[in-house]
Structure 1
């Protein structure tokens, strides 16, 4: 695993938050990797190391990978209502200020992609480029219903091998070509050891506000936020069988954004890991367009 420093900062409501800081060329735009709903900074550990590698095809850039509140090394909130996109936005803006990050390329998976749109809407001049991983302004209700079915359901396993087999059983349709070693690596990204058991590495209370938004209230129009990315390099990554980002929405995104690129990964569901070789190549090409 590549070396990184652990950076901590404090939210406005007093939580200690954490991020991985992979040091790279300070003269180049930083990359900020934003994880999905139940995920954490470890999701990007291989990609971040590759981007930060001096002399590599990504340009040896600095990479920041935060744990959103309630995930990974960041503190759990005593108020589950703060597990919401507006709060994540505020936490992230404080992190960027604390680290002195100005122009940056955002790589956002799922919730992290929505957070990318929010960042672009409030600080468009700071976004040098973006990768939206299996997320867009229109979200498929079927995928949201599936996610609501498992988020916040506490599970534990006696050892890592059992955890990896359980993960493979639950997500084989998302990563059909994954080998046992891949499932173990995914399990170690998504879970942690606690009191002699293997458990998912997030506060189960993140499900409470997510479950409350059960589709009875009309979803906000996110297309104006997406439009704030105009004029910047953009890569849209879609799992070919994603139940979150439809083919129609992905096509509409690239049609609306001149110069945007769409990468579809056949057979993969929500969401691609970005460890796929073709995804790495596409990200390298996007970074090649950014100073």
Structure 2
């Protein structure tokens, strides 16, 4: 099924502790298979998945993207201690319950992929298949240091064009495949308009996640959590220049279980999932996992 008529709806779902999460739902007139649920990275929002969602929904798949608490238009948590994987993963399940989705394919970028693995522990029946975008059971500390430094940096751009230049200066070496247009689109997701100018699209209090974490030592591997995906069709996308998911970790993952591996050339952590080869690979994987 291709070129299906698609309606797009933005809604807010209230999770058990009262916070409202922003959800966008691309719903084809006649959809096939289980929905695809897209979960963004640590300081990212559902807007990261717009192009992929448009591509998949045009092929007849319902796509649901969720901004985690404190990201994008989702409400910020008055208690930053609740910015934790288990709470955020429970938010995903509560959201799916609220909109009547029993099971879904999950595309998780970075922290969103950790959510997928956590869901495998909390409610394995919720997963039809999983795409881990540049994340695995071993997370490289050099990449975490870079992410922490990015969150700690409070430089607000004058405008989106200035923001795009800042991003290009910071990321062009790891993302040589990106164009000026790509960085402009990235800037419009990283910051948002506010009465005083531009502000980060995520809660600066997310920095609390790194409190008490010694990034001068390797992070503990979570192979037992990864192994919970043993019965679920799995695809791993890795950025060619990733500093979070190493090629060695991907090889160890493939030795542990069958999975599909795609490398996105000219990109680092995390691939934007907007290039044609990667989007096509995800579409093929979903068709193989759920051909209905």
TM-score scaled by structure 2? 0.92
Equivalent residues in 2 for 1:56-205 (5 A)? 56=59, 60-205=60-205
| Higher mean C-alpha deviation, range 177-186 or range 97-106 | 177-186
Q: In the alignment, which of 17, 23, 26 is matched to residue 22 of structure 1?
A: 26
Judged with a 3 Å threshold, the aligned counterparts in structure 2 of structure 1 residues 90 and 271 are, in CA distance, closer, same or farther, namely: same
User: Distance between the aligned counterparts of 2:97 and 2:208, measured in 1?
Assistant: 29
**Other structure's SS at 1:224 match:** helix
| Higher mean C-alpha deviation, range 203-212 or range 238-247 | 203-212
Q: In the alignment, which of 40, 45, 49 is matched to residue 40 of structure 1?
A: 45
Q: Per-residue deviation at 1:174?
A: 2.5
The 8 Å contact of residues 42 and 111 in structure 2, kept in 1 or not, is answered as: yes
The 8 Å contact of residues 43 and 190 in structure 1, kept in 2 or not, is answered as: no
User: Distance between the aligned counterparts of 1:209 and 1:143, measured in 2?
Assistant: 15
The 8 Å contact of residues 152 and 206 in structure 1, kept in 2 or not, is answered as: no
| 1:229 and 2:229 are equivalent in the alignment | yes
User: Distance between the aligned counterparts of 1:273 and 1:209, measured in 2?
Assistant: 23
The 8 Å contact of residues 69 and 88 in structure 1, kept in 2 or not, is answered as: yes
User: Distance between the aligned counterparts of 2:111 and 2:264, measured in 1?
Assistant: 19
* Cα-to-partner distance string for 1:232-274 (whole Å, 9 max, x where unaligned): 321111111111000010111122122x111112332111011
| Higher mean C-alpha deviation, range 31-40 or range 124-133 | 124-133
Q: In the alignment, which of 7, 12, 16 is matched to residue 8 of structure 1?
A: 12
Equivalent residues in 2 for 1:208-287 (5 A)? 208-215=208-215, 219-258=219-258, 260-287=259-286
* Cα-to-partner distance string for 1:13-39 (whole Å, 9 max, x where unaligned): 221111111113455200000000010
Q: Per-residue deviation at 1:177?
A: 2.2
Aligned length: 284
The 8 Å contact of residues 32 and 106 in structure 1, kept in 2 or not, is answered as: yes
Judged with a 3 Å threshold, the aligned counterparts in structure 2 of structure 1 residues 141 and 218 are, in CA distance, closer, same or farther, namely: closer
**Other structure's SS at 2:229 match:** coil
**Other structure's SS at 1:44 match:** helix
The 8 Å contact of residues 235 and 261 in structure 2, kept in 1 or not, is answered as: yes
**CA RMSD in angstroms, aligned pairs only:** 1.7
Q: Per-residue deviation at 1:219?
A: 4.4
The 8 Å contact of residues 174 and 271 in structure 1, kept in 2 or not, is answered as: no
Q: Per-residue deviation at 1:209?
A: 2.4
TM-score scaled by structure 1? 0.92
Unmatched tracts of structure 1, length 5 or more = none
User: Distance between the aligned counterparts of 1:13 and 1:232, measured in 2?
Assistant: 30
**Other structure's SS at 1:12 match:** coil
